[in-house]
Amino acid sequence: MLDQKLIRENPKSVEENLSLRGKVHNISHIHELTLKKREIDIELSNLQYESKKLSKLIGQEISKSQNNNSPEINNLKIKGNEYRVKISEFEEKQRIFDKQINTEISKLPNFPSKDAPIGKDENNNVQVKTWGDPLKQEHLKSHWEIGESLNLFDSIKSTKISKSRFITLIGNGARLERALINFMLDTHTKNGYLELMPPALVNSESLKGSGQLPKFSNESFKCSNDDLWLSPTAEVPLTALHKNEIIDPKLLPIKYVAYSPCFRREAGSYGRDTKGLIRLHQFNKVELYLFCEPSKSSEAHQKITSDAENILKKLNLPYRIVDICTGDLGFSSSRTFDLEVWLPSSKCYREISSCSNCQDFQARRSSIRTKIDKKNTYLHTLNGSGLAIGRTMAAILENGQQKDGSVKIPEALVPYFGSNLIKNT
């Protein structure tokens, strides 16, 4: 969430920063609300000051007087009651304006970082680096063709269980998924991340805190009888874990890694990636999450990206890193590095992780602070997939495919999978 004080004092600067995302944001109505709220705050503060002064005066008069019900004291008490009624009225006005302002500000995205490349859309994203040797041969099979031939998963029968874009993993497919989860968790915990397994159901406040609500309500699945949603990513519960807390600076940085099932409607992707493991309503993911002091978030962004990269290197999967331009940034992100893995059948790189620095945007929405120079300061939050499991499996199947129809398992994964090859039995 953006700073209400900044919107009140410098709305032009706010609009200019938001315009870098490629869309005009007119915040004049929010600015007007903040000015009215400021007037109410000042009036309320004055009333409270006068009320306290009057209460002190009444106390002094009572101590001097032999008669607590003298006309003078009664008149002062009547005036004191009038102050209390006015204070109550202004407190209610304050609550109403606070709610209106927070509702409107919560619809505004984060400011892009000054270091993010300027651009309108994904065509303006900047490739930072590539790693590995992409497999480029003709007549290579797609991962869903490989999965079908090796009986690793079934999407057709899954429609009987739920609907399209769900998948049932079978035999070595389920085994490979489990191996990847354990491999990723072990790798990240050895790098200093604390493993968590948060709830898969989250409340509306948690979604608001991380930035999924109100903007992306159509992307999530909601329980009809409760204020609970199926979590779209572990980023949501991990943000909410420290909501309304002031974290001891000695504990920073806090580094979490969490496996979680994720659920998304994929409402805007009709007709895209309808086969295979790339775009499902339910998928597994290992998420990296970090809380740190503001001065260290750029360094932490490089670190969390490197830790996600490390998984791809260990699995020997060719990839590239893309610096996302201002017009293509996610709602809560100030700067994002996408990791894109090579899929030979598509002859292109596909996103497998987005490593984002949200700066104080989520911390402000969730009221997560620390003490810096004895002053309460909002923390910076960072997140990144480490990695999306289904897309990692797809990349292993395609990059490891052999001429005889088998699939070679990356060496680092063999101890977890129990074999160096998947083949027809």
Residue 63: per-residue pLDDT = 79
- Look at residue 267 and tell me whether its pLDDT is greater than 80: no
Which of 196-210, 267-281, 343-357, 363-377 is predicted with the least confidence, judged by mean pLDDT? 267-281
* Spatial CA neighbour of 208 closest among 292, 326, 331, 94: 331
The confidence score (pLDDT) of residue 72 equals: 82
Lowest mean pLDDT among 155-164, 297-306, 360-369: 155-164
3-state helix, strand, coil in the chain (%, to 5): 45, 20, 35
Q: What is the mean pLDDT of residues 295-304?
A: 98
Q: 1.20.1370.20, 1.10.287.40, 1.20.58.220, 6.10.140.120: which CATH number matches 4-105?
A: 1.10.287.40
* Contact indicator for 357, 116 with CB cutoff of 8 Å: no
Identify the pLDDT of residue 99.
95
Question: What is the token pair recorded at 122?
Answer: 């994904």
Look at residue 241 in the predicted model and tell me its pLDDT: 98
**pLDDT of 274:** 74
Q: Are 156 and 351 in contact (CB under 8 A)?
A: no
pLDDT value at position 60? 83
CA distance 217 to 224: 14
Span 209-215, mean pLDDT?
94
* Top-confidence residue, 373 or 268: 373
Contacts of 140 (CB under 8 A, 6+ apart): 344, 345, 398, 401
The reported pLDDT for the residue numbered 119 is 97
Residue whose entry in the numeric block shows the structure tokens 């129990």? 418
**DSSP secondary structure code for residue 221 in this structure:** -
The domains of the chain are located at 4-105, 122-422
pLDDT value, residue 167? 95
Contact of 281 with 265, CB cutoff 8 Å: yes
Alpha helices, DSSP H, located in 65-142: 71-105
Distance CA 273, CA 184 (A): 25
Whole-model pTM? 0.92
Please report which confidence band the pLDDT of residue 268 belongs to, taking 50, 70 and 90 as the band edges: low
Distance CA 363, CA 181 (A): 28
Residue 67 has a pLDDT of: 67
Classify domain 122-422 by CATH architecture: 2-Layer Sandwich (3.30)
